[in-house]
């Protein structure tokens, strides 16, 4: 069985640089352990904050782009893809082809490249 472990946090919370460094170290340690154990495919993905998010929907064949994360609280994450794109336009174009864009919404979030 494969499982997705979604990391949720309050991005508005104030975190001191020391705390930030400690968390980063613990994430690295976690990834190392799990890579060694053979349960992780890669070291995990850290997303940039929601202010960098773009929401893509397809309605009646039109691609509708909105700034920010998806707003419908009745929608829940039902899956995800990790794609390698030239820029946001390419990511939007691919997002608009995900079937779910026609009835739900696709949140496009840049990955924090380390």
Partner 1 sequence: MTGDWDLAEECAQDAFTKALERWPRDGVPSNPAGWLKTTARNRALDQLRRAAVGAAKLQEVAMTRFVDADAESVDRSDRGDGTITDDRLRLMFTCCHPALPVDAQVALTLRTLAGLTTNEIARAFLVPTETMAKRLVRAKRKIHDAAIPYRVPPAHQLPERTAAVLAVLYALFNEGYSASAGADLVRTGLCAEAIRLARLLVQLMPDEPEASGLLALMVLHDARRRARVDAAGDLVLMEDQDRELWDKAAIDEACGLLEAAMGRDRFGPFQLQAAIVACHASAPTAADTDWHHIVVLYERLSELVPTPVVALNRAVAIAMADGPQSGLELVDQIDAGGALAGYHLLAATRADLLRRLGRNADAIDAYQRAYRLAPTDAERRYLTRRLEELSATP
What does DSSP assign to residue 68? S
What does DSSP assign to residue 49? P
Q: Which one among 48, 80, 83, 97 touches partner 1, defined by CB under 8 A?
A: 48
Q: Which stretch binds partner 1 (CB under 8 A): 14-22, 37-45, 64-72, 99-107?
A: 64-72
Interface with partner 1, residue 59, by CB under 8 A = no
Positive or negative: CA dihedral 114, 4, 52, 58: positive
Q: Which residues are bridge partners to 59 per DSSP?
A: 62
Interface with partner 1, residue 65, by CB under 8 A = yes
Interface with partner 1, residue 89, by CB under 8 A = yes
Report which of 72, 82, 67 is spatially closest to residue 103, judged by C-alpha positions.
Answer: 72
Binding mask 6-45 for partner 1 (x = CB under 8 A): ----------------------------------------
Report which of 25, 48, 51 is spatially closest to residue 113, judged by C-alpha positions.
Answer: 48
* Cα 101 from Cα 56, distance rounded (Å): 7
Interface with partner 1, residue 47, by CB under 8 A = no
Q: Which is nearer to partner 1, 75 or 90 (CB)?
A: 90
């Amino acid at each position: 069985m494969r499982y997705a472990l979604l990391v949720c946090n309050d991005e508005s919370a104030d975190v001191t640089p020391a705390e930030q460094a400690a968390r980063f170290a613990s994430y690295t340690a976690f990834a190392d352990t799990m890579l060694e154990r053979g349960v992780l495919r890669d070291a995990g993905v850290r997303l940039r904050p929601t202010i960098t998010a773009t929401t893509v929907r397809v309605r009646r064949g039109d691609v509708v782009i909105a700034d920010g994360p998806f707003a419908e609280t009745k929608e829940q994450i039902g899956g995800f893809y990790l794609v390698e794109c030239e820029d946001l336009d390419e990511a939007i174009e691919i997002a608009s082809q995900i079937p779910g864009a026609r009835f739900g919404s696709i949140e496009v979030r840049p990955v924090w490249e380390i």
